[in-house]
Amino acid sequence: MTRELDNWLLAYLRMVDATEPSQRYHLWTAITIIAAMLARKCTVQLGPELYFPNLYTVLIGPPGARKGTAIRYGTDLLAQVDNATSAPDAVTKEQLVVELELKQDIAYPSDGEQIHHASLFVIAPELIVFIKENDHERLGYLCQLYDGLARFEYKTKTSKNVHITNPGLWILGATTPNWIEIAMKQLGVGGGMTSRTIFVYSSTKGKHISATKMKAFDPHLRAQLIADLGEIKQMAGSFKVTDKADIAYTKWYEGKYKETGVDDSRFASYWERLPSMVIKVAMVMSAARGSDQTIRANDIVNSIRVFEKIHPEMPQAFGGLGHNVLGSQTEMMRNLLREKRRCSKQYIMHTLRHNISAWDYERILRSLLAERFCVSEWNKESGGQELICLEEQQDGNVETL
């Protein structure tokens, strides 16, 4: 296979650089698209475990953060690749099984061994359309499909038994923390879909560009991206892991991975699945730079790096979801302090007057001071209390490989 670009991911980021979505939205859109093109026909065997690069990626942010725009730029390229259609996002469970059944295919890797699989890519710019409010049943079978069943069996309403060999599901969706908090309470308590989903959070747009100043994408670069995405889609078979990649992964797994974590108990189960996600994204990193189907040390390092970039802000994806009765209001106060860095009590009470009382404020403040999220100081000039945010500011708009 001949590639036109040295690295598909870097070239894609170059194409979309002068647009408004956060760079992390662009990067994870691109990563998920490559993963879906590799499908379940690309695998890597590590000991007794067989991995394939299925990803559930959800872009999270407030309205206007350009989540859907980032997805549209990526999927517009996907639409130009032959036979790379995705499933409609507004489908019932039964319709999704039908879509999977229609996607049954056979891949022919270079070693001559046939690979039977049914790989489906769901694109859901409004995740609520795909996952209905508190849809426990759908979340249950989405977890089943993620876990790599060798055979999926489903009985339809008409009593037809559907048998699908090697099903694989990919999801690229977008929503707001508010929707997750209100409509999907079972999602944010630590297990199930939480542990299988990569939540990519950005609080703002990446850039603010007037529509009259925005340039069209470079047609030559766009054509190269489409051509190489077609080449990626043709890849099939086993990936190899070099000795240096083995060393890089083991060093991380036995060192930094054990010593760190997402600073939020709701992500404890996600952290347990992170090592397998690193392997899956390393396959994407390999495919982005060429078709040799070899995971090298840099692929492992770059995979770890893109996760480390999103972890500090990932808890904000769930807002105040949890068992704390003031969790939602506490997160509102956090976000206000994150944005302003320094706020008076008067300003906070006025801004959040529809959500917190003076009694709520005092209870929330005690919690924030206890965890050292902020400190309280007396402002002599205004003659009132001010809160100063201590949380380190994260730059969500610059992503590097």
- What does the pLDDT look like over 41-75, one tens digit per residue? 999 999 999 999 999 999 998 888 999 999 999 99
Q: Is the pLDDT of residue 357 over 80?
A: yes
Q: Is the pLDDT of residue 89 over 80?
A: no
The domains found in the chain, sorted by start residue, are 8-318 (3.40.50.300), 327-389 (1.10.10)
Among 13, 19, 15, 22, which residue's Cα sits nearest to residue 65? 22
What is the pLDDT confidence band of residue 39, given thresholds at 50, 70 and 90?
very high
Q: Is the pLDDT of residue 322 over 60?
A: no
What is the pLDDT confidence band of residue 135, given thresholds at 50, 70 and 90?
low
Q: How far apart are CA 309 and CA 96, in angstroms?
A: 33
Q: Is the pLDDT of residue 232 over 60?
A: yes
CB 7 within 8 A of CB 84: no
Among 324, 332, 278, 267, which residue's Cα sits nearest to residue 301? 278
- What does the pLDDT look like over 246-267, one tens digit per residue? 999 999 999 999 887 766 777 7
**pLDDT reported for residue 188:** 45
- What does the pLDDT look like over 148-183, one tens digit per residue? 888 887 776 665 777 888 999 999 999 988 777 665
Q: Is the pLDDT of residue 79 over 80?
A: yes
